[in-house]
Amino acid sequence: MLNKSNRPFLNNARATSLGMLTLVLALVLAACGDSTATSTVAPVSTTAAAAAATSAAASTTAAGATTTAAAAGTTTSATGATTAAGAAPTPTILISRDPGTLNGAGSTFINPLMSKWTKEYNTLFPQVKINYQSIGSGGGRQQFIAKTVDFGASDAPMTDDQLTQAGGADRVIHVPLTQGAVVLAYNLPNVPNGLKFSADTVAGIYLGTIKKGNDPKITADNAGVNLPDLAIATVHRSDGSGTTDIFTDYLSTVNADWKSKVGRGTSVQWPGGIGGQGNEGVANQVRNTRGAVGYVELAYAKQNKISYGVVKNKSGNFIEATPDAVTAAGNAYADKIPEDLRYSIVDSPDPKAYPIAGTTWLLVYKTQADANKGKLVTQFLDWAIKDGQKFGTDLDYAALPAGLVTKIEAKLKTITCGGATCLS
């Protein structure tokens, strides 16, 4: 029979046993495949064991913290402070991730950033694999409609007809991911970076009315620049392209001739020129063709060390394409974005805005047939619009406006998995 003097010893023994049981349980979970638990279980369980030796109540608290840490890939101290393993605390990392693979396809515009995102996300959550095919916005929309991918990516919002093909506008959600610039890249011998282009000059080059590098309209905006007497070869996308949609949206907005003769679209009837597959293909054509002028996403011009111009905006200022200049373009339209999140930010009225700017959307179905994949894609999107935004600046993308992020969060919470919201 135990007397009162035995009780402290018994309580401590029970607490220590509970701490050891927690350690064993965490190790079993790690062996079953939770790779995030592997790196965190030792330090957390050590804390739990120490707490258990102090009191049963402390042991219970530490054990609960251990379970949370193993699921979320975090380290939790005895005081309850939580930090991501090897990183500063972030709000979305605290959500557990089930193992799985996501497959997406589309925009080449976002590919440099998407490559960075998938690498960073897999570092945080090794059990989640994201495969992305940079095939162009047109291909991404087609595969999304055909349901051969878990998500599509497009620099042009889906048209009403495309939404009908996908089952209706109420079944598809457009999720803005980032904003960026389309630049005029050129291969004009001995012409430095920063050639000035006005709206009518850009339209004239692509309409074929401006035929040479030293045309008077180009010369007028570039006093002191020795422009070559060289035939211009325009380069455009040969595939269905969101970058083309941004570029032709801009031209249709600023030039009446372009709007009436060619118009806006992901694929248009070009008056002439050379075609290239993807942003990569256009960049290669410009780099290898003397006299070439082509439109590409900013990162492709910089990565390929191709000269690109500055463009006159609506306020009459020649603006270089930078993340700040794209942010200015987006902010000018932030309070005009419609409920379905399909919008344009070209030809912004902000005096500091770069005029040929656009958005990349991820396309997802509102009702997810596969609950696990539905959770994975909404969790990834939640991370991308928050923590993921910091990776864009170094790649020359602009972060989403804070007000837009709030609207996107509300949209993500309407995506359902098995009748319940996917994003908890």
pLDDT at 223 over 70: yes
pLDDT digits 0-9 by tens, 82-129: 333 333 334 444 455 779 999 999 999 999 999 999 999 999 999 999
**Token duo for residue 392:** 């864009």
pLDDT, mean of residues 261-282: 97
In a domain, 161, yes or no: yes
Report the range of poorest mean pLDDT among 77-91, 149-163, 314-328: 77-91
Confidence label for 78 from pLDDT (cuts 50, 70 and 90): very low
Handedness of CA 115, 117, 118, 124 (dihedral sign): positive
CATH for 362: 3.40.190.10
The residue from 67, 89, 121 where one domain ends is 67
> Which domain covers residue 206, as residue numbers?
181-336
pLDDT, mean of residues 301-317: 97
At residue 422, the pLDDT reads 96
CB count within 10 Å of CB 27 equals: 16
Report the range of poorest mean pLDDT among 10-14, 61-65, 376-380: 61-65
pLDDT at 77 over 60: no
5 versus 251: the higher-pLDDT residue is 251
In a domain, 349, yes or no: no
pLDDT at 240 over 80: yes
Q: Are residues 185 and 286 in the same domain?
A: yes
In a domain, 89, yes or no: no
pLDDT, mean of residues 337-341: 96
Cα gap 59→12, rounded to integer Å: 10
23 versus 151: the higher-pLDDT residue is 151
Q: Are residues 151 and 219 in the same domain?
A: no
In a domain, 118, yes or no: yes
Residue-wise DSSP of 165-229: HTT-GGGEEEEEEEEEEEEEEE--TTPPS--EE-HHHHHHHHHTS--BTT-HHHHHHSTT-----
In a domain, 241, yes or no: yes
pLDDT digits 0-9 by tens, 393-410: 999 999 999 999 999 999
pLDDT, mean of residues 157-172: 97
Please tell me the pTM assigned to this model. Answer: 0.77
Confidence label for 65 from pLDDT (cuts 50, 70 and 90): very low
